[in-house]
Amino acid sequence: MTSKLILLRHGESEWNAKNLFTGWVDVDINEKGVEEAKAAAKLLQSEDLLPDVLHTSLLRRAIHTANLALDGCDRHWIPVKRSWRLNERHYGKLQGLNKTEIRDQFGEEQFMQWRRSYDVPPPPIDKDNEFSQYHDARYADIPADERPLTECLKDVVARMLPYWEAHIVPDLAAGKTVLVTAHGNSLRALVKHLDGISDDDIAGLNIPTGIPLYYELNDEFKPVTPGGRYLDPEAAKASIEAVKNQGKK
Ligand SMILES: O=C(O)[C@H](O)COP(=O)(O)O
């Protein structure tokens, strides 16, 4: 038996367009992101990949994208489960700062180490910084000493996988088509797990905004086709290149 998993990064956000590190800052998608989400609905409809259940993060750019994508293929009524464990990676002190300015200030090597290394997090954000979520009510259930103030991708894998095993895999095992609408780095963490990508090689993987990535999974919930398949490969290729080059002048 195989199962159907669709991964969808939120459409372009207001801060993606401004080239700002976002992380857990709760910005919305912009007009382009809205159009990307509506286009994702058409792609799902055209391939008859109609989700039976939705999993999202606690951030509005993912929630808004999911609502538009599902509304556009008349699946707005399906059950939804939300978790901080699908949130974007927490970018620590870099949240709210300009990617190009950070690259200029600290140099290419440090910029890329903070952005794409597996196990080196940016400096932690101060709990009372305007771009900190430490006191945000939606994270009240996370024990205070476990509430992230910064994360590396290794941290994201560690907090995302328990959710994958406990909440997403059971839906797949029940034969449901699952839509996971999340973020560039929480999806990089999940793709790393699915495709068995090494800690070094994951640095070269980037996820485009708003383009569904479809995986057919075997009965061990591993991809039948490594890497899955973007429902709009050409658009995905262009968007991936743009994500890769963020911060460059
Ligand atoms: O949180 C952010 O800044 C972006 O959504 C992801 O940024 P990155 O592609 O630079 O990790």
Q: Is 113 in the pocket of ligand 1 (CB under 6 A)?
A: no
Distance 95 CA to ligand 1 centre (A): 10
Q: What is the dihedral of CA 161, 163, 169, 174, to 10 degrees?
A: 180
User: Residues annotated in the binding site, as ranges?
Assistant: 9-16, 22-23, 61, 88-91, 99, 115-116, 184-185
Q: Quote the number of domains for the chain.
A: 1
Q: Any bridge partners for residue 4, and if so which?
A: 216
Catalytic residue selected from 10, 55, 64, 183: 10
Q: Is 133 in the pocket of ligand 1 (CB under 6 A)?
A: no
The answer to whether residue 88 is catalytic is: yes
- Tell me how far apart the terminal alpha carbons of the chain are, to the nearest angstrom: 48
Q: Is 51 in the pocket of ligand 1 (CB under 6 A)?
A: no
The ligand 1 atom nearest the CA atom of 246? 10
Q: Whose CA is closest to 19, among 100, 79, 86, 107?
A: 100
The answer to whether residue 241 is catalytic is: no
- The pLDDT, as a whole number, for residue 247 is 84
- The pLDDT, as a whole number, for residue 64 is 98
Range(s) of the domain holding residue 205 = 3-245
Six-digit token string for 72: 């556009």
Interface predicted TM-score (ipTM): 0.91
- The DSSP letter of residue 73 is T
Mean pLDDT per 10-residue section of the chain, whose length is 249 residues: 96 97 98 98 98 98 98 98 98 98 96 96 98 98 96 98 98 98 98 98 96 98 97 94 86
124: CATH = 3.40.50.1240
